[in-house]
Structure 1
């Protein structure tokens, strides 16, 4: 299975915040959408980075009280790890493990944002794939038997 198949099912909508948004605003956005990360984009829509719950917790630990008023640009991860729509789910899981990230923006060959996948999306896809394989094997054994 490829990442593009996951995006067909979940859609390409990506929640974004601005670099000047406060950490409180970002936290509220994440809570409202029940997500663990959001892309940070400028007014023209260019991707500047990603901000996750992990970034917020690390920033709070580093900056202490008053953190909620600081800006997303101060906490975001600037070096994005991305995948393409044709990337295999197993490859994307490997990238997540190696780079220790839980969210991957999906960019096409032109660099256009196509969506965002989470570790949960990929694990769900692998489970569905394994269940389908098991059913196919069961049907094969039943037919052969």
Structure 2
């Protein structure tokens, strides 16, 4: 299974905010959408980074009580780990494990943003794939027996 098939099911809506939005804005955005990370984009739409709950915690540890007023650009992750629509789910899971990330922006061949997948999306897809394989094996054994 490839990343494109996950995006077909979940859609390509991506939650993002600007680099000058505050950590408090981010917290409200994440809570409203019930997600763990948002992309940070320039006014022209360019992808600047990603900011997650983990980044907020690190920001609080480094900046203390005034963290909520900081711009997200001060705590966001700039070194993005991305995938293509044709990336295999198992490959993306390995990348997440290796790079210790939970969200992967999905870019087209030209570098344009077309969606984002989370570790939950990938695990769900992998479980569905395994269940389908088990069902196919069961039918094969039943038909052969």
CA distance in 2, matches of 1:98, 1:91: 10
**1:88 Cα offset (Å):** 0.1
TM-score (norm 1): 0.99
SS of the equivalent of 1:80 reads coil
**1:30 Cα offset (Å):** 0.4
TM-score (norm 2): 0.99
Residue matched to 1:128 = 128
Matches within 5 A, 1:108-119: 108-119=108-119
CA distance in 2, matches of 1:142, 1:114: 42
**1:127 Cα offset (Å):** 0.1
**1:90 Cα offset (Å):** 0.3
Residue matched to 2:56 = 56
Which stretches of structure 1, 4 residues or more, deviate above 3 A after TM superposition? none
Aligned residues: 145
* Structure 2 portions without partners, runs of 5+: none
Residues 36-69 of structure 1: per-residue CA shift (max 9 Å, x gap): 0000001111100000000001100111111100
Over aligned residues, Cα RMSD in angstroms? 0.4
Matches within 5 A, 1:53-132: 53-132=53-132
